[in-house]
Structures are given as C-alpha cells and as structure tokens.
Structure 1
Amino acid sequence: SKGSPESKPAPTSKSPPPSKSPAASQAAAASKPSAAWRNPWLVVVLLALGLAAWQWIETRQKLTDTQQELARRLADNDSVGAEVRGLARQSQEQVAGVLGRLGALEAKIAESQSQQAALEQLYQNLASNRDEWVLAEVEQGVTLAAQQLQLAGNVQGAMLALQAADARLAGSDRPQFISLRKVLAGDLDRLRALPQIDTAGMSLRLESVINAIDTLPLAVEGRPQAGEAAPAVAADASAEAPAAASSPSPSIASVEFWQRLVSIELWQRLAGEFWSEVKSLVRIQRFDRDEPALLAPGQAFFLRENLKLRLLNARLALLARDQWTFLNEVQHAQAWIDRYFDADAAAQQTAQLALKQLAATEINIEMPTLNESLSAIKTFKLGQERK
C-alpha cells in the first residue's frame, strides 16, 4: 500500500565524478595554445581590422579637418564674393547713372536742336506772316519783362518791356489784338501799384557812408580844441600900447592906469579869461549811453575796415534783394557807429540818419508774375494756327 514505509524507494547516493589526473590537465593546457597558433589568419585578420580601424579614424579626423578648412575658405570666399558683388553692383549703378545723365544730356541737346530748328522754321514763317511776327515780338517782350521781374526785380525795366509790347500791338491796328492789350494793361496796372525801390540811390547812399567811415571821430578822441580862449590880454596890450605912446606925461598915464584898474569891465574881462583857461584844462562830457570802449590805434583801424565790410555786405544784399541780410548788416553798422564813434560829431549823425532811413526801407517785394499775358499770347497763337 501507498502508506507503508516499505513502498518508498531507497535513496540513491551520487558518487563524485572521477577527478582528472594531473597528466591529463597538463595535456589539455598544452593543447589550447597549439589550437590558437594552428589558425594564424585569425591574428592577421584581427591586426588588419585594427589597422583599418585606426586608418579609418585618422582619415575621418583628416576629413573633418579638411571639411572645416573648406568651410572656412568657402565662408571667406562668400564674404569676398559679397564684397565683389557689392562693388560690381555699385559700379553698375554708377554706370547706369552716368548713362542716364548722358541720355538726359543727349535728350536736352536733341531738344535744343529741335527748338532751334523750330525757331528757325518759325522765323521763316514769320517773314511771310505779319501777324505772327507781331505776336513773336510781343511774346519776346513779355518774356523779357517776366525775366526782369523774377531774376532782377527790376520793375521799371519790366514796365518798359510791357509798354513796348503794348505799343507794338497798338501799331499793328488789328482788332483781334484788343483782348491781348487788355491783359497787358492789367499787368501794367499791377506793376504800377508796386512800391518803387530806388536801388541805385540806396546803393549810392551806402557808398557815401562807407567813404565817410575814415572821417568819423572815435568817442574817446573828443578833446577841447586849443586856441578857444580869446586873446583878450593881447588885444588890451595892443590897445594900450598906442595910448601909452601918445600919453603926454607919466602922471596922466598913472591916473588912467588906476582908473582902468578899478573899472568893472577890467575885472569882468579878467574873470572871463580865467574861466576860459579853466575850461581849456578840464572838460566834463555827459554820455547818455554806456562808456565807450578804449581802442588801440590798430584796433581802430580794424574797426573801421570791418564796418566797411558790413556796409559792403549790405550793398550786395540790396542788389540781391535779401531783406534779412541787408537789415542785419545795417543794424550792426548802426550799433558799432553808436558805440565806438562820437555821437556829437556831425559826420556821425549824418551817417546814422542815412543808415536809419536805409534800414526802414523794404527791399524784398513779392513780384507779380506775367503768366496771364503769356497764356493769352499762346492761346491767341494757337487760335491763329488752327485757322
């Protein structure tokens, strides 16, 4: 039965494996190296693989260095190429600009040639057409008047040119020119309404002030003139000499002497002479402005020359109708004359009066245009051509 102890199998005892003998172990150890040397190609292959790996690594490193160097040189080449491209682009732009200017000059030359040819043709046609000839003269006169106004501000010259154009139209005695004469009359009325500027007269006044600069006395040079006191004593001596010569006796002369000595007129004359002498020694002058600066002789020379330069600049500004520059220079000249020169001198007062009048004059006048007259002439010419 299963529960009986007799039914259990008997335990089996495992015997240890038999141990190898020392001789067998030595034989096995000797057989291992002999197996490795038995296949030398394996060693060669391993060495070859190691050498190949080392060469691959070295080649890879060199390739990396070469790539980096190549990239650096490519970057340098790119920067140089960018500069070259920029210079080339700039050169192309300059060439294009030069070509453009050359083309513009050629166009202007062609335009001038065409205008010259047109003018020649116009002159030829005007020779056979009296009305066109008159219109050309009138247009030339109006153009001249416009140039006088815009370039030189010469109102009188512009009025003379317009009056000549109107006289030319009136001389032709053609009814179709009445409308043109009305337009010219309107422009003439506008020019007559402008304030008149005597440019030549103002320039001459500036020149007179410039010439008077060297004669203006400085404020620190004012001194009393010698010889102001009347030589009353000499006159008395000369008057008394004949009296003494004609005196009949010393007693009579002594009586007259004491009478003259106690006379009031003598003491008044002596007091006047004494006061004249005192005034010649001391001078009291009142300045209603700041005390004038002391100037050395060299500084006085440069002061006068700089003052002349300012007045010359004012003269140029007058001719150019530059109101700001003209007024600025004249005012500076007034300030210098008032500060450094004697205000009581007649020459200084005359110069200041002239400069004051010049500074109060308006020289920058807005000139009207003659576009209406020019447009009317062109419109009339187009109407004549269409006929």
Structure 2
Amino acid sequence: MTKQAPPAEQINSAMPETVGAPAASSHNSVENIISRMSIMKMVLAVVLVVFLWQWFDTHLQINNMQQELARRLAEMDGNNKANQVLMTQVKESMRELSVKVGVLEAHSAEAQNQRAALESLYQDLSGSRDETVLAEVEQMLLIAGQQLQLSANVKAALIAMQQADDRLKRMDRAALNGLRKAISRDIDKLRTLPDVDVPGINFRLDNLIAEVDTLPLVQDIAHVPQEKNVIMTTPVREEGAWQRLMREIWEDMKRLVRIENMQKRELPLLSPTQTFFLRENLKLRLLSARLGLLSRDQKSFRHDLQLAQEWIVRYFDAKSTSGARAVTTLQKLRESSINIEMPDVSASLEAARNYRSSLGKGLR
C-alpha cells in the first residue's frame, strides 16, 4: 500500500525553514529522491526500460528481415527470368522433337510397309527356290557333259560337277541324297582319268612355231674344207713376192673344185619364195597338230608331228642347236598319249531331271 502525502499546511510551514537552511549535499538529495519513490514507480521504470530494449531489438530484427526478404525477392526474380528463358528453350526443343518424332513415325510406317512387301516377296520366292536350285544343278551337269564331249576338258567338267554337288549340299534335303550319290559316282570317274598335260604340250608347240623362222636351212650351210684350217694354222714362212703370188694362185685354183661325200640324195636349191612357203607349211602342220591335241585326236596329232619332224630333218640343219632341239621336242611329243576315253556322266544329269520333275512339289 502507498503512503498518503502530508497536508499542504505542513509543507508550507516547513518551506521557510528549508529555504533558509543551507543547501544539502548531493548525496542527501539522491537518498531523498529514492526514498520518495514508491515501489510501483520503480517497477514501472524497469518495465519501461525492458519495453524500450525489446522495441529496439524488434525494430532491428524487422530491418534485417526486410533486407533478407528483399534479397530473396531479388533472387526469386532472377530465377524466375532464368526459368522463363529455360522454359522457352524447352518449348522449342519439344517442338523440334515433335517434328522429328513425326518424321520417324513416317519412316517407321514406310519401313513397315517395305518389310511387309519383302515378306510377301520372300514367301512368293521361297516356293520356287528349290526348283531354281535344281534347275541350276541341271545346267551345271549339262555344262560338264558338254565340256567332256566337245573339248574333252576334264578339269572344267569336274569343277562344274563339284559346284552342283555343293549347291545340293547347302539345301540339306534328305530327298536329294540319291542325286548327290549319282553325282559323286560321276566325280569319282573323272578323278580316276589319267592327267594329260594339254597346256604343257600346247606351250611346246607354240615354242616350235616361234622357232620355225630361225631354223637354218641345209642349203645355207657353208662347208669349209679341212685343208683351210691346216693352212691357217701353219706359220707363214718368209718368202719373196713371186713365191707369195704363186702360192695364192695355187690356193685359188684348189678352191675351184670341191669334192664332198654327202652320203645322201642332194636336194635341189630352194628359191626365197619356196623357202618362205616351206616355213609357213611347217607352221601350218604344227597348228594342225595343236588342233588334234585339243580335239584329242591322237592319230592326227602324231601324223602331223611326224611330217613336221621329217621336213626339219630333210630341209633344215638337224645338226645345229635349234634344229636338234626341235627334232628332240617333236620326238617326245609323238611319244606322249593324248587319247583318253571319256566316261559317261549322263546318269547324274538324268537323275537331276527326274528329281526336278517328280520331287519338285514334295520339296516345298
């Protein structure tokens, strides 16, 4: 409870004494003030100080919050602009992607149409594929038979039949085993044939034809008497002019007559025109021998080689290097055998035709 203030008369009566008295010290005045203050006033003062401090702190926090809010608003504004730019780019990308997706869908539809067309075409062709393979095999076997009959080319016929067997092997059909066995039997027949070196013989004939123009004729050979070699080897003695003249006249007189034993019938001299036709006829005879070789006509081949050898021995110098080599080559060629009995391979061809006609539908 608060104390009541003294009456005004007491204050007024006491003031003259106070004024007249000397000023009290500062310490006494403070104590008087404190003593005069009531407890409520002190509480009010403390509350006021606390309120002021809280108001200042709150005002400071509000300022900080305003600055932070302004900063964040600025960042949000910048992020918003960046997001708008990004959204614009995303929209453009989506537009481009939509265009590309449309193009891909169009290509996909076209590819599906092409695939459907190819599947239908493959289905159409798969039915006739086996018949096509059989037709090819039949054609290969026919070629093999023609090579054997026309040119007796065993190697080409063997290659054609092996290719036909490979085509049947890739088909892997049990129904074609009989045809493959027939082809294998004909292949074994061709492999057992003796090998004739037709290219080697042909090469030798070509060399002989090329050497015909260089073969020396018998009439072109210069026979030198043996006495000449003796005279050339004997040393020349010192002799006078008359002796040398008489010796040269005697040597010229001895060369006027030459006696020689040819031991064979003398051939008449050939003119240049006859020499030309002789060489050309020899070439034609060798070419005829080549035709006999390619047609495997052994009788004609040996006859032409025999005539060519006789012509070389009769009209050409068989003792020279080229002449002896030509005679030896012709003799070796005459001894070679080119006649080979070709086997019959029509069984495989007939089997292929039968399979094509009877098993065509069953193979599908």
Q: What's the TM-score, normalizing by structure 1?
A: 0.49
- Measured in 2, the distance between the counterparts of 1:134 and 1:283 equals 81
Within 5 Å, give how 1:107-186 maps onto structure 2. 127-186=126-185
Find the counterpart in structure 1 of residue 341 from structure 2: 366
- Measured in 1, the distance between the counterparts of 2:305 and 2:130 equals 52
Secondary structure at 1:217 match in 2 = coil
Instruction: Tell whether the 8 Å contact from 1:127 to 1:133 is kept in structure 2 after alignment.
Output: no
- Measured in 2, the distance between the counterparts of 1:207 and 1:228 equals 40
Aligned AA (1:311) = L
Find the counterpart in structure 2 of residue 199 from structure 1: 198
- Measured in 2, the distance between the counterparts of 1:337 and 1:140 equals 47
Residue-by-residue CA offset, 1:321-340 (whole Å, 9 max, x unaligned): 33332222211111111112
Instruction: Tell whether the 8 Å contact from 1:126 to 1:132 is kept in structure 2 after alignment.
Output: no
Q: How many residues end up aligned between the 2 structures?
A: 219
Find the counterpart in structure 1 of residue 356 from structure 2: 381
Secondary structure at 1:200 match in 2 = helix
Aligned AA (2:321) = A
Instruction: Indicate which of 311, 332, 356 corresponds to 1:357.
Output: 332
Higher relative contact order (CA 8 A, sep 6+): 2
Find the counterpart in structure 2 of residue 31 from structure 1: none
Find the counterpart in structure 2 of residue 339 from structure 1: 314
Pick which of 338-347 and 375-384 moved more.
375-384
Deviation at 1:163, TM superposition (A): 0.8
Instruction: Indicate which of 261, 275, 289 corresponds to 1:300.
Output: 275
Within 5 Å, give how 1:320-331 maps onto structure 2. 320-331=295-306
Instruction: Tell whether the 8 Å contact from 2:131 to 2:360 is kept in structure 1 after alignment.
Output: no
Q: Which runs of 5+ in 1 are unaligned?
A: 1-123, 237-277
Residue-by-residue CA offset, 1:188-243 (whole Å, 9 max, x unaligned): 11111222233333222112111211221223433357997898789x9xxxxxxx
Deviation at 1:309, TM superposition (A): 1.9
Deviation at 1:172, TM superposition (A): 2.0
Instruction: Tell whether the 8 Å contact from 2:182 to 2:347 is kept in structure 1 after alignment.
Output: yes
Within 5 Å, give how 1:11-90 maps onto structure 2. none
Aligned AA (1:294) = P
- Measured in 1, the distance between the counterparts of 2:269 and 2:183 equals 60
Aligned AA (1:296) = L
1:291–1:383 Cα change, 3 Å: same
Find the counterpart in structure 2 of residue 216 from structure 1: 215
Find the counterpart in structure 1 of residue 54 from structure 2: none
Secondary structure at 1:367 match in 2 = coil
Identity %: 43
Pick which of 329-338 and 317-326 moved more.
317-326
1:190–1:283 Cα change, 3 Å: farther
Secondary structure at 1:358 match in 2 = helix
Secondary structure at 2:194 match in 1 = coil
Instruction: Tell whether the 8 Å contact from 1:219 to 1:292 is kept in structure 2 after alignment.
Output: no
- Measured in 1, the distance between the counterparts of 2:320 and 2:303 equals 25
Question: Which structure would you say has the larger Rg?
Answer: 2
Residue-by-residue CA offset, 1:12-32 (whole Å, 9 max, x unaligned): xxxxxxxxxxxxxxxxxxxxx
- Measured in 1, the distance between the counterparts of 2:220 and 2:342 equals 48
Q: Which runs of 5+ in 2 are unaligned?
A: 1-122, 237-253
- Measured in 1, the distance between the counterparts of 2:178 and 2:229 equals 77
Aligned AA (2:344) = T
1:385–1:312 Cα change, 3 Å: closer
Find the counterpart in structure 1 of residue 90 from structure 2: none
Residue-by-residue CA offset, 1:164-185 (whole Å, 9 max, x unaligned): 1111112222222222222111
Instruction: Tell whether the 8 Å contact from 1:162 to 1:184 is kept in structure 2 after alignment.
Output: yes
- Measured in 2, the distance between the counterparts of 1:332 and 1:154 equals 27
Secondary structure at 1:129 match in 2 = helix
Instruction: Tell whether the 8 Å contact from 2:147 to 2:156 is kept in structure 1 after alignment.
Output: yes
Moved over 6 A (4+): 225-234, 281-286
- Measured in 1, the distance between the counterparts of 2:340 and 2:330 equals 20
Aligned AA (2:345) = L
Find the counterpart in structure 1 of residue 294 from structure 2: 319
Deviation at 1:371, TM superposition (A): 1.4
Secondary structure at 1:304 match in 2 = helix
Aligned AA (2:181) = K
1:229–1:132 Cα change, 3 Å: farther
- Measured in 1, the distance between the counterparts of 2:126 and 2:138 equals 16
1:343–1:231 Cα change, 3 Å: same
Aligned AA (1:369) = D
